[in-house]
Amino acid sequence: MRVDVITLFPEFVDGCARVGVVGRAQERGLISVTSWNPREFATDNYHTVDGRPYGGGPGMLMLIGPLRDTIAAAKAAAEAPAKVIYLSPQGARLTQRKVQELSVLPRLVLLCGRYEGVDERLLDHEVDEELSIGDYVLSGGELAAAVLIDAIGRLQEGALNDAQSAAQDSFSEGLLDCPHYTRPEQHELGTLPAVLISGDHAAIKRWRLKQSLGRTWLRRPDLLARMQLDKSARALLEEFRLEYFAAQDKNTG
């Protein structure tokens, strides 16, 4: 996949894409991230990219002209058709499902807004989709673009090691991840769930699914409500609930 990012801070986006799993995916040729600075497409001597809002009010907006020319240049840099995405709190919430959907496209162009945003006419004509990474306000779209690139990059075929396999992720089955433990076996902070050192792989698998179900029930009931649990999953969750309530009774007397 090819990702072109339109940003006033190209070194920030490039830096993000150079490290970790995404950095390695770039080295392996699985994804390429190219940044484009609209300031280089500004046509006046001051390289102006912002203007004051009509109707008044505080702050500045990004001008149509430089952004439009930057998008055109980015699109022209490769053959494949590109989906243009604007990152903003007004967009539809980014989910793992959306990440999976985008991860199989050949090309994305990510538009990062600064200031109070972008002239609405540019969004109407040049942007295919508006996405939000969450209900909070960043100072620019760059971090949101980096989040999207990271989530998409790790899903590219060959980006993860076997050990990291995306199939085991939180949300891959719509559930939260189970707890994990590593050495030492004995520690003053606590002991291990005994099943994890039992060598009984079926029992371990069952325990992990039960913890995933239980945690999702406790922490994200909204996720669980939209799922269709089969009979064995419902039984596992019921086991978790009974143990959870029993432990609560013990603690509260």
- By CB under 6 A, the residues from 139 to 158 that bind ligand 4GX are 140-141, 144
Q: Which residue, 140 or 193, is less far from ligand 4GX as judged by CB?
A: 140
DSSP 168: G
Query: Which of 217, 116, 128 is CA-nearest to residue 175?
Result: 217
**Residue 241 contacts by C-beta under 8 Å, 6 or more apart in sequence?**
214, 217
Angle at 93 between CA 91 and CA 96, to 5 degrees: 140
- Name which of 126, 12, 115 is nearest 62 in CA terms: 115
Closest to ligand 4GX by CB, 58 or 221: 58
- CB of 33 or CB of 111, closer to ligand 4GX: 111
Three-state SS at 102: helix
Assess 127 for contact with ligand 4GX (CB under 6 A): no
Indicate whether 133 belongs to the interface with ligand 4GX (CB under 6 A). Answer: yes
Please state the residue numbers annotated as binding site for S-adenosyl-L-methionine.
113, 133-138
CB of 128 to ligand 4GX, least distance (A): 16
- What would the two tokens of residue 21 be? 């799993």
Determine contact, residues 217/237, Cβ cutoff 8 Å. yes
Q: Write out the H or E segment, with its range, that includes residue 219.
A: helix 201-219
Question: Which residues are tagged catalytic?
Answer: 89, 116, 154, 169
Q: Give the per-residue contact string, 67-96, with ligand 4GX (x = CB under 6 A; - = no).
A: --------------------xxxx------
User: For the window 95-124, what string marks contact with ligand 4GX as x by the rule CB under 6 A?
Assistant: ------------------x--xx-------
Smallest distance, ligand 4GX to C-beta of residue 143, A: 8
Q: Is 137 in the site for ligand 4GX (CB under 6 A)?
A: yes
Q: Pick from 64, 73, 78, 138: which binds ligand 4GX (CB under 6 A)?
A: 138
Give the integer Cα–Cα distance in Å for 225 and 227. 6
* Phi, psi of 172, deg, nearest 5: -65, -30
Binding residues vs ligand 4GX (CB under 6 A): 87-90, 113, 116-117, 132-134, 136-138, 140-141, 144
